[in-house]
Amino acid sequence: MKKIMSIMLFAVMAILQATAQEGPTMGWSSWNTFDLNISESIIKGQAAYMVSKGLAAVGYDHINIDDGYFGGRDAETGQLKIHPTRFPNGLQPVVDYIHGKGLKAGIYSDGGYNTCGSYHGGDKTGEGVGLYEHDQQDCDMFFKDLGFDFIKVDFCGGDPVHNKDKLDLDEKARYTAIAKAIKNTGRTDVRMNICRWAYPGTWADDAGFSWRTTGDINPSWGSVKGILAENLYMSAYCSKGHYNDMDMLEVGVEKWGNKLTTEEAKTHFGMWCIMNSPLLIGCDINSLSTTNLNLLKNKDLIALNQDTLYQQAYLAAKVNDCYVMVKDIEKHYGNKRAFAIYNPNDAQKTVTLKFKDIDLADSVALHDCFTKKDIGKFFETYEVKIPAHGTKIYVAEADTRLERTRYEAETGYSKAYSEIEWNVCQYSEASYCSGGYKVGYIGGSNTNNYLEWRGVYSKEGGDYKLSIGYICGESRSINVYVNGKKVKNLSCNSGGWEKVGKKIVNITLEQGENTIRLVNTSGWMPDIDYIDVTPVVPTGIDELKASAAKEHNTYDLQGRKVNASKAHGIVISEKGKKIMK
Ligand code: GAL
């Protein structure tokens, strides 16, 4: 009996471990508020507040020590030393204290010899303390001896612009070697955050749990808006255990006379949630106002961040200069989705969202994630005023899920994509493009430098029309591949570099998920705005209804054309409006 109980307990523990927080890392980090001036009592204090303020209970489980704890390196043994006055008892009591609170402990280092603090903060104790040439020794100390659970690895020491020796190291080689050293410790649960201040490349999937995509955040609207602008197109690079890190939270932080307004803090936190960024609180937890504490504890928003589909919301549409970001939650291609309408502008905007743009139809029930209230059922459209710098975030549950037709270029993936390499594709803002961005520099002589959309979902499979919105001021070609098979070579010229042209190809999709790839292996490809994927013959009731709506006709649930008064269930009236019967 005892044995069976313990086997059952073991099984339950294994399930809990497997399901426990595989989403983006949540917790607190010392940098945004305390800079290099950290200490044993500060770190322990924040761990205690994390629990006492109820933040641990909603998922914030990491206490991360950032730059500032270093105390040089022993010249003979190479052993890393800890700052003698900031941490007079070393790091062990700090890690134990954090663990004792039921939390995980995080540490910080650099891929080169010298830390960022040693260069930008003039902190001499940060020289020669990076991981370079000490990968295994330091990883053994951090993860085997001290028991840390997380590491952020910065890169000032490897980037000639940020270190005094002008040392220039290869990011992929360094982070891959560090990942290996972590693995060699025997620990399989350690999360590495790659801090190279730009999307480093798809190789990062094999090395890190998350990676910074931008320079350092600060508590100003310009900073938050800028980081969002650089991440709205990153959804294809997020998957389970692989997250785009938009940097630590500035909610509740005041620095250099700057702080976010209530509306801006909501946008910042809400967008970090729906875009699956790590959520690392950056303020002094004890000083949080009730409003900010409640914002950080908003379970509806946190649930979007930790959703078990592990998706980053993607850009579905730009409406009245606001961005509509959407993602599936709980079930792939199901009727429940989360979406945000983000207004980066300095003026209030009225947005009329067409549910069709987020692949939902018929009756759509909306739940407001900020007010935590169900706000009602809506048909076809939803009109809302979004304040300047504001964001609304909803969970939508619809009667009908439509197949997605619009795939913006900014939701496409390229194996070659990197923000630290030259001659690979670039996502850039383009006001004349539908989502507000285009992807350029695709192709060249690099076979990995394609643009592709995975998960092009067809309920039934069959014949589709693929329309490609492209920009090209000269003649260039696009090779179209569907599920790995070449379908067509298109010769394109849209007549200008700010002019969107359209090419149409007939393709066949398999039932379920498909991949559409655009590439040119012999020269540069045109820039891409979007692709549209539409069934040639409406395949189901949803599509019939959608086309019926367009034609202002009336169809019943079987897709037969009928008189509105005779139809059963949901019908489309003569005016193209849906009515419930
Ligand atoms: C920067 C990093 C910051 C912080 C700082 C410490 O490079 O992006 O988040 O860690 O170094 O010096």
Q: Give the strand pairing for 406-408 and 391-401.
A: unpaired
- DSSP single-letter state for residue 255: B
Q: Pick the residue whose CA is nearest to atom 6 on ligand 1.
A: 67
The pLDDT tens digits for 173-185 are 999 999 999 999 9
| Centre of ligand 1 from the C-alpha of residue 174, in Å | 18
CB atoms within 10 A of CB 252: 24
> Does the beta carbon of 328 lie inside 6 Å of ligand 1?
no
* Residue (of 61, 64, 50, 21) closest to 195 by Cα position: 64
Q: Where in the chain is the domain with CATH 3.20.20.70?
A: 2-15+29-305
Both tokens of 446, joined, read: 């690099």
Q: Where in the chain is the domain with CATH 2.60.120.260?
A: 407-535
Q: So what's the pLDDT on residue 560? A: 47
Q: So what's the pLDDT on residue 445? A: 85
> Does the beta carbon of 110 lie inside 6 Å of ligand 1?
no
**% of the chain residues with pLDDT over 70:** 89
> Does the beta carbon of 154 lie inside 6 Å of ligand 1?
yes
> Does the beta carbon of 330 lie inside 6 Å of ligand 1?
no
Q: Quick one: angle between helices 92-100 and 40-52, nearest 10? A: 0
The average pLDDT across 391-409 equals: 98
Ligand 1 atom having least distance to the Cα of 248: 9
The average pLDDT across 447-453 equals: 97
Strands annotated E in 430-482: 437-440, 451-458, 462-472, 476-482
* Residue (of 348, 313, 322) closest to 232 by Cα position: 313
* Residue (of 254, 268, 235) closest to 390 by Cα position: 268
Both tokens of 256, joined, read: 């250099």
Contact call for residues 124 and 118 (beta carbons, < 8 A): yes
Q: How many residues does the chain have?
A: 581
Whole-number Å distance between alpha carbons of 55 and 58 = 5
CB atoms within 10 A of CB 19: 9
Q: Give the strand pairing for 210-212 and 314-319.
A: unpaired
CB atoms within 10 A of CB 542: 19
Catalytic positions are 154, 216
> Does the beta carbon of 397 lie inside 6 Å of ligand 1?
no
Name the residue of 36, 38, 64, 67 whose CB sits within 8 Å of the most ligand 1 atoms, as the mutation to test its pocket: 67
pTM > 0.75: yes or no:
yes
> Does the beta carbon of 440 lie inside 6 Å of ligand 1?
no
> Does the beta carbon of 35 lie inside 6 Å of ligand 1?
no
C-alpha torsion sign, points 10, 15, 17, 18: positive
Q: Pick the residue whose CA is nearest to atom 4 on ligand 1.
A: 31
- Say yes or no to pLDDT of 579 above 50: no
Across the chain, mean pLDDT equals: 92
> Does the beta carbon of 31 lie inside 6 Å of ligand 1?
yes
| Centre of ligand 1 from the C-alpha of residue 245, in Å | 13
* Residue (of 160, 180, 179) closest to 169 by Cα position: 160
Question: Side-chain half-sphere of 163: how many Cα atoms within 13 Å?
Answer: 24
> Which residue type occupies 286?
N
| Centre of ligand 1 from the C-alpha of residue 527, in Å | 34
- DSSP single-letter state for residue 547: H
- Say yes or no to pLDDT of 138 above 90: yes
- Say yes or no to pLDDT of 190 above 70: yes
Q: Pick the residue whose CA is nearest to atom 3 on ligand 1.
A: 216
Bridge partners (DSSP) of residue 361 are 400
CATH 3.40.50.2300 applies to domain 407-535:
no
- Say yes or no to pLDDT of 9 above 70: no
> Which residue type occupies 200?
P
The pLDDT tens digits for 155-170 are 999 999 999 999 999 9
The pLDDT tens digits for 330-364 are 999 999 999 999 999 999 999 999 999 999 999 99
In degrees, rounded to 5, the angle at the alpha carbon of residue 251 between the alpha carbons of residues 245 and 254 is 115
Ligand 1 atom having least distance to the Cα of 217: 9
Ligand 1 atom having least distance to the Cα of 126: 12
* Residue (of 104, 109, 70, 76) closest to 90 by Cα position: 70
Q: How far apart are the first and last CA of the chain?
A: 59
> Does the beta carbon of 117 lie inside 6 Å of ligand 1?
yes
Whole-number Å distance between alpha carbons of 390 and 572 = 34
Sorted by sequence, the CB contacts under 8 Å of residue 20 that are 6+ apart come out as none
The pLDDT tens digits for 12-51 are 444 444 445 799 999 999 999 999 999 999 999 999 999 9
> Does the beta carbon of 67 lie inside 6 Å of ligand 1?
yes
Report DSSP letters for 167-184, one per residue. Answer: ----HHHHHHHHHHHHHH
In degrees, rounded to 5, the angle at the alpha carbon of residue 17 between the alpha carbons of residues 11 and 23 is 145
Three-class SS state of 230: coil
Both tokens of 200, joined, read: 């480093």
Q: Give the strand pairing for 243-245 and 210-212.
A: parallel
Reported as type and span, the H/E element at residue 338 is strand 336-342
Rg (CA), the chain: 26
Q: Pick the residue whose CA is nearest to atom 5 on ligand 1.
A: 116
CB atoms within 10 A of CB 283: 26
Both tokens of 2, joined, read: 């005892």
CB atoms within 10 A of CB 532: 17
> Which residue type occupies 250?
E
CATH topology of domain 2-15+29-305: TIM Barrel (3.20.20)
| Centre of ligand 1 from the C-alpha of residue 73, in Å | 20
The average pLDDT across 121-145 equals: 96
Contact call for residues 93 and 47 (beta carbons, < 8 A): no
Q: So what's the pLDDT on residue 558? A: 43
446 φ, ψ (degrees, to nearest 5): -105, 110
| Centre of ligand 1 from the C-alpha of residue 148, in Å | 19
Whole-number Å distance between alpha carbons of 559 and 482 = 29
- Say yes or no to pLDDT of 550 above 90: no
Q: Where in the chain is the domain with CATH 2.60.40.1180?
A: 314-403
CATH 2.60.40.1180 applies to domain 314-403:
yes
| Centre of ligand 1 from the C-alpha of residue 196, in Å | 9
